[in-house]
Chains A and B, each alone.
Chain A
Amino acid sequence: MIMQRQIETQKDDRLADFTDRLLGGETTPTASNSDEELLSLEKTLLRLNHVLPSAQLEEARVEQMLARLKARVKREEEERAARPSFWRRLFDFQSNPQAGLLIGVAAAILLLVVFPWVSLTDPGVTGTAGAGSAGTSAGVNLFVGVGVALFLLALYWISRRK
């Protein structure tokens, strides 16, 4: 067991030494044919070293890449600054009239949800006992209806002004 471990450690060391020499410029395998495993690993490293790019970046290239990076960062910052905010885009009814219409409809629905007793249709007379309250309800209906109409008109006016 200990013997086997020593053999493995020796193989690790030999491959590491070979790698150091390879990266130092030596390009011939050192393992003997009897040690097929080590020989095949050395050949893999030779292939790796041959294929991987070794050329260093020249200073001029570094400066060129830095200039491109700065230009890109600047462009992105300018684009971000020029882009209107979400709320500005949402309320830009001139270029997005559908949004204005959608907001108007949403506001009307919201009003009906907040004031559930309000109905845009005439409930009619349901009985003498409720006649008084029906009159009040009709008054609220009128009030909310006028409110919604004014709101929609205001939205239209704002969009026309821009």
Chain B
Amino acid sequence: MQNSEPLPQDASDQFLIQRYKDGNTEAFDALYRRHLPKVYKRIRCVIPEGDVEDVTQEIFIAALKSLSTFRGDAQFGTWLRALTNHKVAEFYRRRGRKQEPLLAPLSGASAQATGGAPKIMEDRIILQRAFQNLPENYREVILLRFAEDMQFNEIAEHTRQNLEAVKSLFRRAVAALRNQLEQ
């Protein structure tokens, strides 16, 4: 019985996806456990604290729904990252339509509920707003280094650029972020 076979700890994403397609739902659980920390950290960098879990769940539900049609042209991590960025953009589009004030989560109750000091929470929201105003490649290179802990050479490999170009892009991105924060 292929579906009830135990999954090896070091199984590749591709293997787990295939097992999920074969009907083994535990394969998705393994993928979730493996990729949640990175997705969650990235989301926490760009989404207000009170919405982080909801958006994270939205991402994995979308992944679950389309996993059966995932062809494996890209790595699962890359595909999930693109899905994450799409959901973040969707979140801000919806939020923009509702005309909610961006600093809304700063209300005392909200800051206390998330366990963050109000000053840091306020700074984080200002930073998140600045992030959203950055060009996508600038935002991405900062998030890959800070949220996903990728080394510069790994980013170069991932983005298929040379190391020098990545470092240059990073410096321009930080400069753009600084300018956004000064506005």
Contact status A13-B181, CB under 8 Å = no
Contact status B147-A52, CB under 8 Å = yes
| Shortest Cβ gap from B59 to chain A (Å) | 10
Residues of A within 8 A of B170 (CB): 12, 15-16, 19
Stretch of B36-44, B80-88, B99-107 lying at the A interface: B36-44
Interface residue count on the B side (C-beta < 8 Å): 36
Contact status B57-A49, CB under 8 Å = no
Which residue of A has the minimal Cβ distance to B56? A65
Q: A52-B127, A52-B146 are in contact. Are A57 and B37 (CB under 8 A)?
A: yes
Stretch of A39-47, A91-99, A102-110, A147-155 lying at the B interface: A39-47
Stretch of A26-34, A67-75, A113-121, A122-130 lying at the B interface: A67-75
Contact status A23-B149, CB under 8 Å = yes
Find the residue from A12, A45, A49 having the highest chain B CB count within 10 A. A12
Interchain CA distance A62-B38 in the complex, whole Å: 12
Which of A52, A65, A76 makes the CB contact (< 8 A) with B124?
A: A52
Interface residue count on the A side (C-beta < 8 Å): 32
With an 8 A cutoff between CB atoms, is A51 at the interface?
A: yes
| Residues 138-176 of chain B, each 1 if its beta carbon lies under 8 Å from chain A, else 0 | 000010011101011000000000001001101100110
Chain B residues 71 to 93 lying within 8 A of chain A, measured CB to CB, are none
Interchain CA distance A65-B59 in the complex, whole Å: 13
Which of A13, A40, A45, A66 makes the CB contact (< 8 A) with B29?
A: A66
Contact status B145-A41, CB under 8 Å = no
With an 8 A cutoff between CB atoms, is B53 at the interface?
A: yes
With an 8 A cutoff between CB atoms, is B177 at the interface?
A: yes
B interface vs A, CB < 8 Å? 29, 32-33, 36-37, 40-41, 44-45, 53, 56-57, 60-61, 64, 120, 123-124, 127, 142, 145-147, 149, 151-152, 164, 167-168, 170-171, 174-175, 177-178, 181
A interface vs B, CB < 8 Å? 8-9, 11-13, 15-16, 19-20, 23, 37, 40-41, 44-45, 47-53, 56-57, 62, 65-66, 68-69, 72-73, 76
| Listed A/B pairs (30) with beta-carbon separation below 8 Å | A9-B168, A12-B168, A15-B167, A15-B170, A15-B171, A15-B174, A16-B152, A16-B167, A16-B170, A20-B152, A37-B175, A41-B171, A41-B174, A41-B178, A44-B177, A45-B174, A47-B127, A49-B146, A50-B123, A52-B44, A53-B45, A56-B41, A57-B41, A62-B36, A65-B36, A65-B57, A66-B32, A72-B57, A73-B61, A73-B64
